[in-house]
């Protein structure tokens, strides 16, 4: 992305933005969060938070990024000189770095699984997939090597730049992933006892309706839409003015919800049909996916393809995370891009080491009762992202005059009024209430 590169096409931008959004959030995190938080109620709240809070703030990020055409910090500085709004950019930098530090650990798990799939050691009757997952993530040498390899892949793509790397990768991977999920869904839903999983997803158990679930659902909506940490500000800074940001944001949100639900529809019927517990935590997808493929003819082959696709989905998100850090680190000195990418990737790798070891030799090391991995996740998801989203919402709602935001909005007056009401009042109040209630829960 030397100087100010731009996206080559509208579909390219939507796919890249969707690629940044759709990743581990929808496929890995959503199912296990739903699994450990009562299923249906969490899913319902997640959709609500996505549509009424996440989407409007995503539109705000697109607006800010496209107007600024700079990295987040300089963008806020240019649009609000001598005001402290640029701190949002700093928050984004720290949050994206921290997210990537544990995101790359999970990326490493995917590489581990991919290698095992290729060497055929994930197939064969009677494998205990839960035990296998435990073995993989607790092996210190393997997790660190895999995490390093994943960071290296991310780094190489970020260096290739917008058109060459991100856009091309996103273009063919997303549709393929979709088709694969549908195939898996068909297998999963036709297993004996699958209906229990559907009930788990859609028949509400209201006892889970509380502030904690709501904060987790909100955090999940932000995380999986990539909202609140300036990632979408960064991407849309490469966006030409002719694009309609409202429809782009809507498409991203729809695809994201669809993939999340689809991932759930693959996982939960199989969980119940094959006698697993939905409360496996971070291992859920890694345990259930091989278990479902085992039920398919040529499962071993499909499993390889699946992990390749999952790897792509993950990388299109990890490059967004690294891109935020690099674009800020480089600022206007774009010739320093290469060195900066290496430097930041190395720092993030080092920060991620305790997360990588959290399920093995460092499992006794806890902060606030959480291992390092969970702590980094909690800090970013439940604190930094909501605060970032809150500030971005206020910036778009109040710093921009109504005339400016209406011009940028390029959509119907009714939608504009609704959006303005949300970013000015509804989203900020909701985020504050949820944060405060959670703090005193
Ligand atoms: N949305 C990405 C995912 O779901 C994660 C992400 C968060 C990416 C924030 C960029 C910024 O996997």
State pLDDT tens for residues 72-108. Answer: 999 999 999 999 999 999 999 999 999 999 999 999 9
Distance CA 95, CA 231 (A): 10
Residue among 107, 226, 232, 389 to mutate when testing ligand 1 (max atoms within 8 A of CB): 226
Ligand 1, atom 7, lies closest to the CA of 226
For residue 391 the two structure tokens come to 């500030």
Distance CA 112, CA 115 (A): 5
Pocket of ligand 1 (CB under 6 A): 20-21, 23-26, 96, 99, 223-224, 226, 229, 231, 317, 320-321
- Model pLDDT, residue 120: 82
- pLDDT of 128 over the 70 cut: yes
Helix (H) or strand (E) holding 83: none
For residue 280 the two structure tokens come to 């496996």
- Model pLDDT, residue 441: 66
- pLDDT of 162 over the 60 cut: no
Instruction: List, for residues 305-314, the tens digit of each pLDDT value.
Output: 889 889 988 9
- Model pLDDT, residue 294: 84
**Contact (CB, 8 A) for 108 and 356:** yes
Residue among 173, 321, 386 to mutate when testing ligand 1 (max atoms within 8 A of CB): 321
Distance of CA 96 from the midpoint of ligand 1 (Å) = 9
- pLDDT of 118 over the 80 cut: yes
Residue at token pair 């509804």 = 426
Ligand 1, atom 11, lies closest to the CA of 226
* Whole-number percent of the chain with pLDDT over 70: 94
Instruction: List, for residues 316-345, the tens digit of each pLDDT value.
Output: 899 889 989 988 888 777 677 888 899 999
Buried b (16+ CB within 10 A) or exposed e, 260-278: bbbbbbbbbbbbbbbebeb
Q: Would you state the CATH architecture of domain 10-440?
A: Up-down Bundle (1.20)
Chain-centre distance for alpha carbon 204:
25
Instruction: List, for residues 256-291, the tens digit of each pLDDT value.
Output: 999 999 999 999 999 999 888 999 889 999 999 898
Distance of CA 92 from the midpoint of ligand 1 (Å) = 12
Q: What DSSP line would sit under 350-403, residue for residue?
A: HHHHHHHTTTTTTTT-EETTEEHHHHHHHIIIIIIHHHHHHHHHHIIIIIS-HH
Residue 185 vs residue 238, higher pLDDT: 185
Residue among 54, 236, 317 to mutate when testing ligand 1 (max atoms within 8 A of CB): 317
Distant-in-sequence, close-in-space partners of 437: CB < 8 Å, separation ≥ 6: 211, 215
Question: Helices in 40-128 by DSSP H: which ranges?
Answer: 40-49, 55-68, 72-79, 87-118
Domain ranges of the chain: 10-440
Confidence of residue 127 (pLDDT cuts 50, 70, 90): confident
Chain-centre distance for alpha carbon 393:
19
Helix (H, G, I), strand (E, B) or coil at 127: coil
Distant-in-sequence, close-in-space partners of 137: CB < 8 Å, separation ≥ 6: 109, 143, 283, 359, 360
Distances in whole angstroms, Cα of residue 53 to Cα of each of 60, 82, 315: 11, 29, 26
Its pTM surpasses 0.95:
no
Distance CA 408, CA 180 (A): 37
Distance of CA 156 from the midpoint of ligand 1 (Å) = 19
């Amino acid at each position: 992305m030397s100087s100010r590169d731009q996206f080559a096409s509208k579909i390219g931008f939507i796919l890249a933005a969707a690629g940044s959004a759709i990743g581990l959030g929808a496929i890995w995190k959503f199912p296990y969060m739903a699994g450990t938080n009562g299923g249906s109620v969490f899913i319902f709240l997640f959709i609500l938070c996505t549509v009424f809070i996440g989407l409007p703030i995503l539109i705000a990020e697109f607006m800010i990024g496209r107007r600024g055409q700079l990295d987040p910090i300089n963008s806020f500085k240019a649009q609000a000189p001598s005001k402290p709004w640029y701190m949002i950019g700093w928050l984004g930098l720290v949050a994206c770095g921290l997210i990537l530090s544990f995101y790359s650990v999970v990326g490493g798990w995917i590489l581990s699984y991919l290698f095992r799939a290729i060497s055929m050691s994930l197939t064969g009757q009677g494998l205990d997939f839960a035990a296998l997952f435990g073995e993989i993530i607790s092996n210190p040498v393997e997790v660190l090597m895999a995490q390093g390899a994943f960071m290296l892949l991310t780094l190489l793509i970020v260096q290739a730049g917008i058109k060459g790397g991100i856009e091309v990768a996103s273009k063919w991977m997303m549709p393929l992933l979709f088709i694969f999920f549908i195939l898996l869904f068909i297998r999963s839903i036709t297993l004996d006892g699958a209906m229990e999983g559907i009930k788990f997803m859609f028949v509400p158990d209201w006892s889970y309706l509380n502030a904690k679930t709501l904060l987790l659902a909100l955090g999940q909506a932000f995380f999986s839409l990539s909202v609140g940490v300036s990632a979408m500000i960064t991407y849309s800074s490469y966006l030409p003015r002719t694009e309609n940001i409202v429809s782009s944001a809507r498409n991203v949100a729809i695809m994201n919800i669809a993939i999340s639900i689809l991932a759930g529809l693959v996982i939960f019927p199989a969980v119940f049909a094959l006698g697993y517990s939905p409360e496996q935590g971070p291992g859920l997808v890694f345990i259930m996916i091989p278990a479902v493929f085992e039920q398919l003819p040529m499962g071993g082959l499909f499993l390889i393809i699946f992990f390749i696709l999952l790897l792509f989905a993950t990388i299109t998100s990890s490059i967004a995370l690294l891109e935020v850090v690099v674009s800020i680190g480089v600022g206007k000195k774009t010739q320093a891009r290469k060195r900066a990418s290496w430097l930041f990737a190395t720092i993030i790798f080092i920060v991620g080491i305790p997360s990588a070891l959290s399920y093995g030799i460092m499992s006794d090391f806890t902060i606030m009762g959480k291992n390092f991995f969970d702590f980094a996740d909690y800090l970013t998801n439940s604190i930094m992202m909501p605060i970032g989203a809150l500030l971005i919402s206020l910036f778009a709602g109040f710093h921009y005059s109504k005339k400016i935001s209406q011009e940028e909005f390029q959509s119907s007056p009714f939608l504009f009024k609704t959006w303005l009401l949300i970013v000015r009042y509804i989203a900020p109040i909701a985020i504050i209430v949820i944060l405060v209630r959670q703090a005193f829960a």
